Amino acid sequence: MSTHAAPPPYSGPPTGPPTGPPSGPPSGPTAAHPAQTLDLSRTATIPLFRLVLVELRKSMNTLASFWLVVGIAILVVMVEGLLLVIVLVESSESTPGDYTVFATYITALALPVLAIMLVTTEWTQRTAMVTFSIEPRRSRVMLAKYLVCLVLTFAAVVLGVLVGFVCALICQVALPAETTWDFQAELIVGFFITQTLAMTLGFALAALLLNTPAAIVVFAVYRALPVAVFAIAASYLDWFADIRPWIDFEYAQGPLYDLSLSSAEEVGRLLVSGLIWLGLPLTFGLLRILRAEVK
Amino acid sequence: MITVEGLTRTYGSFTAVDDVSFACRPGRVTGFLGPNGAGKTTTMRILVGLTPATRGRATIGGHSYHDLRNPGRHVGVLLDASAQHGGRTGREILTLGATAMGLPKTRVDEMLHLVSLSAEESTRRLRHYSLGMKQRLGIAHALLGDPQVLILDEPANGLDPAGIRWMRGLLKGYSDRGGTVLLSSHLLHEVEQIADEMILIGHGRIVAQGDKKSLLESGRQTKQATTTVASLDQDRLAGALRDKGYAVTPGPNALTVACAAVDVGRVAAELQVVLTDLRSVEGGLEDLFLELTSSTQREMPAYQAQGYPPQGPPPGYPQQPPPAGYPGGPR
C-alpha cells in the first residue's frame, strides 16, 4: 500500500484557481492493487428459500410471537377437548370437519397478528437496518415475508385437519354409530383462500402503518366496521344495496367460503372490492417500505 | 475500496450531508470523525443503501451496495448495536444472519468466541445485554460473513477500556490482513489510536482529511505554537527566551512559551541549562478537531473560554474542496 498515492494533506483554504495537473487519482484498480474492487463472481445471490427460512424463523423466535403460537396451541387443545367432552357426554353426531372448523377459526384470529408482527417488528425493533443490510433488495425480503404468511396459513389448515381427524378417531372408538367420515374438503380449501386474504390484509396494513398495535387495531376495525356500515347503509338506501356487492369485500368473499364462486359477476365483485380494500393498502404499504429511509 | 463521490443528502431545507467525497483503502483503518449530528451516520447509511442519496455516488469495491449479491459476505456492517430485536437471544441473532448469508452454524460459535461472549451470555435475550455486550454482538454479526470491508458506526460506544483496547487490536489485525475499515466516532482519542487515516466532518461537510501527521502539520500552519518547559534554572531560561523575543508566561511548575519546542531547546542548549521537562502544548489533534468543527459544536470549546487563541471562526476552514483527483476536485 505504500506506493499508493495518499490523499493530499489538507493545506489550507483554496486561494485561487487550482494550477497544475492533478496529482493522480487516489483510488482505482491497478495491477498493483487488485484488492481495490470486490470480486463478486464467486458469490451467489441469496436464494429466496433461504430468505423464507430466515423469515419463518423470525416469525416464531421472539418472546411475543413464541407465546402467541403457544397460546394458540393451548387454546385449540382446550376448545377441542371441551368439544370432545360435550360430544362424548351427549353422544352427539360428529364428523372430522366439525373439529377442524373450530381449530381453524381459532388460528384465524391469531395468524394475522403473526403476519402483522413479522412486518412491523422490523421497524419497531429497528431490525430492518440489519435485514436490509443483509439483503438490500427489499422486495425480495417482503416477498419472503409474504411467503411465510402463506406457509403459516397452510400449516394452520393442515394442523386443523389433523386435529379434526384425531378427534373424530376418538369419537369413532367411543361412539362408532354417531361418527361419520364425510369430510367437506371444499370448506377447508375455502377457508385456506379466505384466510390467505385475511393474512394479506394484515400484511398490507402492517406495511402501511409499520406499527404493531396500530396495525392490529386497524385490522380488527377494518374487518368489522365496513361490514356493519354497509349492511346498515344497504338496508336504508336502495341504490347502495345495488353497489354494495361491488365494494363490500367481506360480502364479496361470501361465495369463497364454500367454494361456490361460479358466476363471472361474483368474480368481478371479488376483484373490484379486493382492489379497493386489499390492493390499495398493499400497494401503498409496499411502496412505503421499498422507499422508506431505514433508521 | 470504499469510494464516496460528491455525496449529498438533504431533508427539506436541511443538508445533512453536503458534497462529501472520500476514499478508504484496503489495509487501512479510516476514522470518520465529527461531533454529534455532523452527518457521519447518514453518510454510512447511504453507503449501505438504507438511505437514498439526494446526489452523488457511493460504491464499495466498485459496486453499489445494492448490487452486491450477498453483501454480508463482502461488507460487514454495524450501524447501531441496539437495532436488534430485544426478545431474541444473541446466539439466535447470529444464527439468523448466518442462515441468510449461507454460512455453517459453526461460524456462530466462532464469532461468539471471537468477541468473548460466553455460552451463557449468548443464550440471554438481547434486552438483558449491556451496551458493551450489544457492541460485541454487533461486531460479531459484522464479521460473520468474513467480509473484506467493515463499516462500523461508533463501535467503541459502550465498551469498557479493556473492550476498547480489544477492539483496537481486532481492527488493527483485520486491516493488517488487507481489510478495509471505515469507523466513525465523535471521540477523537478513540479514532486517533486506531485510525491510519482520518476524515473530519462537521456540518455535513468534510473539513479535513489525511493521516494524522499531515493533519497536524496543516493545523500547525494556522496557529502559534506553544511550549511548556521546566528546567533547573527557570529565571535564566525565561530571560534568554524573552531576549529572543518569545512571550514567556511563568507558571508554578513550568514556563509557557509562545514558540515551538525546538526553539526552546535551542536556547536552553546555548545557555547550557538542564531541562527537566519540555513539551509542545499544541493540544494535538484535539484542538484541530475542535477548531475545524467549531461551527457545529454545541458547547464552547474550553480554550475559547480561557482566552486561548484562536478566537472566533477558525481562519479559513469553512470548507475544503475534494482532494485533487476526486470528481469535483481540482483538475
Place of cell 499531515: B214
Nearest residue, CB atoms, B72 vs list A45, A64, A134: A134
How many angstroms separate the CA of residue A253 from the nearest CA in chain B? 37
Cell matching residue B50:
438504507
pLDDT score for B223: 62
- The one-letter amino acid code at A199 reads M
Domain-embedded: residue A237: no
Chain A environment of B100 (Cβ under 8 Å): 46, 50-51, 54, 134-135
pLDDT score for B106: 95
- Per-residue pLDDT band for B110 (boundaries 50, 70, 90) equals very high
CB within 8 Å: A50 and B66: no
Chain B environment of A49 (Cβ under 8 Å): none
Range with lowest mean pLDDT among A15-19, A229-233, A244-248 = A15-19
Higher-pLDDT residue of A26, B255:
B255
- The one-letter amino acid code at A194 reads T
* pLDDT of B222 over the 80 cut: no
Q: What percent of chain A has pLDDT over 90?
A: 34
Average pLDDT in the A204-225 region?
91
CB within 8 Å: B178 and A46: no
Average pLDDT in the B3-11 region?
94
Tell me whether A46 touches chain B (CB under 8 Å).
Answer: yes
Select from B4, B42, B43, B85 the residue whose CB has the most chain A CBs within 10 Å, as the one to mutate to test that interface. B85
* pLDDT of B217 over the 80 cut: no
Range with lowest mean pLDDT among A140-154, A275-289, B315-329 = B315-329
Cα distances (angstroms) measured from residue B324 to each of A9, A17, A275, B27, B329: 10, 12, 56, 22, 5
pLDDT score for A29: 37
Range with lowest mean pLDDT among A107-111, A198-202, B116-120, B126-130 = A107-111
What's the total number of domains in chain A?
Answer: 1
Rounded to whole angstroms, how far apart are CA atoms A246 and A274? 9
Domain-embedded: residue A293: no
Q: pTM (2 decimals)?
A: 0.79
CB B36 within 8 A of CB A99: no
Rounded to whole angstroms, how far apart are CA atoms B287 and B306? 13
* pLDDT of B213 over the 90 cut: no
- The one-letter amino acid code at B14 reads F
CB A207 within 8 A of CB A142: yes
Maximum mean pLDDT: which of A192-201, B301-310, B317-326: A192-201
Rounded to whole angstroms, how far apart are CA atoms B19 and B185? 20
pLDDT digits (tens, 9 = 90+) for A19-76: 444 443 333 333 344 467 888 888 899 999 999 999 999 998 888 888 888 998 899 9
pLDDT score for B168: 92
Rounded to whole angstroms, how far apart are CA atoms A222 and A219? 5
Chain A environment of B331 (Cβ under 8 Å): 18, 22
Nearest residue, CB atoms, B71 vs list A37, A126, A136: A136
The upper half-sphere exposure of residue B48, i.e. CA atoms within 13 Å in the direction of its Cβ, equals 33
Q: Give chain B's length.
A: 331
Range with lowest mean pLDDT among A22-31, A213-222, A280-289, B277-286 = A22-31
Nearest residue, CB atoms, B99 vs list A24, A54, A294: A54
CB within 8 Å: A8 and B323: yes
Average pLDDT, chain B: 85
B61 burial level (CB within 10 Å; 0-12, 13-18, 19+): buried
CB A127 within 8 A of CB B81: no
Chain B environment of A62 (Cβ under 8 Å): 85, 87-88
Tell me whether A262 touches chain B (CB under 8 Å).
Answer: no
Domain-embedded: residue A257: no
- Per-residue pLDDT band for B113 (boundaries 50, 70, 90) equals very high
CB A261 within 8 A of CB A274: no
Domain-embedded: residue A175: yes
pLDDT score for A26: 38
* pLDDT of B202 over the 50 cut: yes
* pLDDT of B241 over the 80 cut: yes
pLDDT score for A238: 84
pLDDT score for B309: 41
pLDDT score for B4: 95
CB contacts < 8 A, A to B, total: 184
Domain-embedded: residue A87: yes
* pLDDT of B330 over the 90 cut: no
Nearest residue, CB atoms, B73 vs list A5, A43, A57: A43
Domain-embedded: residue A268: no
Tell me whether A3 touches chain B (CB under 8 Å).
Answer: no
Rounded to whole angstroms, how far apart are CA atoms A226 and A38? 54
Chain B environment of A135 (Cβ under 8 Å): 71, 100
* pLDDT of B305 over the 80 cut: no
SS3 A19: coil
pLDDT digits (tens, 9 = 90+) for A162-192: 998 999 898 888 888 888 887 778 888 888 8
Domain residues for A71? Answer: 48-212
Rounded to whole angstroms, how far apart are CA atoms B40 and B16? 9
pLDDT score for A227: 81
Average pLDDT in the A197-205 region?
92
Nearest residue, CB atoms, B74 vs list A38, A44, A295: A38
The reply to whether ipTM tops 0.90 is: no
Higher-pLDDT residue of B262, A140:
A140
CB within 8 Å: A132 and B49: yes
Domain-embedded: residue A252: no
Rounded to whole angstroms, how far apart are CA atoms A288 and B213? 47
Chain B environment of A12 (Cβ under 8 Å): 218, 221-222, 316
Rounded to whole angstroms, how far apart are CA atoms A130 and B77? 8
Q: In 10 A of CB A263, how many CB atoms?
A: 10
Beta bridge mates, B60:
B2, B63
Select from A121, A134, A148, A290 the residue whose CB has the most chain B CBs within 10 Å, as the one to mutate to test that interface. A134
Instruction: Produce one character per residue of B241-279: b if its CB has 16 or more CB atoms within 10 Å, e if not.
Output: beeeebebeeeeebbebbbbbebbeebbeeeebeeeebe
With CA atoms as reference, the chain A residue closest to B329 would be: A22
With vertex at residue A46, the alpha carbon angle to CA A44 and CA A47, rounded to the nearest 5 degrees, is 105
Average pLDDT, chain A: 83
pLDDT score for B282: 59
Rounded to whole angstroms, how far apart are CA atoms B232 and B15? 56
Question: Using H for helix, E for strand and C for coil, what is the string for chain B?
Answer: CEEEEEEEEEECCEEEEEEEEEEECCCCEEEEECCCCCCHHHHHHHHCCCCCCCEEEEEECCECHHHCCCHHHCEEEECCCCCCCCCCEHHHHHHHHHHHHCCCCHHHHHHHHHCCCCHHHHCCEHHHCCHHHHHHHHHHHHHCCCCCEEEEECCCCCCCHHHHHHHHHHHHHHHHCCCEEEEEECCHHHHHHHCCEEEEEECCEEEEEEEHHHHHHHHHCCCCCCEEEEECCHHHHHHHHHHCCCCEEECCCCEEECCCHHHHHHHHHHHCCCEEEEEECCCHHHHHHHHHCHHHCCCCCHHHHCCCCCCCCCCCCCCCCCCCCCCCCCC
H helix or E strand, kind and range, residue A53: helix A48-58
Average pLDDT in the B118-123 region?
95
Give the strand order in the sheet containing B55-60.
Answer: B14-24, B2-11, B55-60
Rounded to whole angstroms, how far apart are CA atoms A195 and A203? 12
pLDDT score for B193: 85
pLDDT digits (tens, 9 = 90+) for B77-98: 999 999 999 999 999 999 999 9
How many angstroms separate the CA of residue B323 from the nearest CA in chain A? 6
Cell matching residue B323:
482532494
With CA atoms as reference, the chain B residue closest to A51 would be: B100
Average pLDDT in the B147-158 region?
93
DSSP state of A173: H
Q: In 10 A of CB B317, how many CB atoms?
A: 23
pLDDT digits (tens, 9 = 90+) for B45-60: 999 999 999 999 999 9
The upper half-sphere exposure of residue A211, i.e. CA atoms within 13 Å in the direction of its Cβ, equals 5
With CA atoms as reference, the chain B residue closest to A13 would be: B316
| Domains (range + CATH), chain B | 2-215 (3.40.50.300), 227-280 (3.30.56)
pLDDT digits (tens, 9 = 90+) for A83-131: 999 998 888 888 888 888 888 888 888 889 999 999 999 999 999 999 9
pLDDT score for B72: 95
Cα distances (angstroms) measured from residue A29 to each of A3, B64, B71: 13, 16, 20
Region of A244 please: left (phi>0), alpha (psi -120 to 50) or beta: alpha
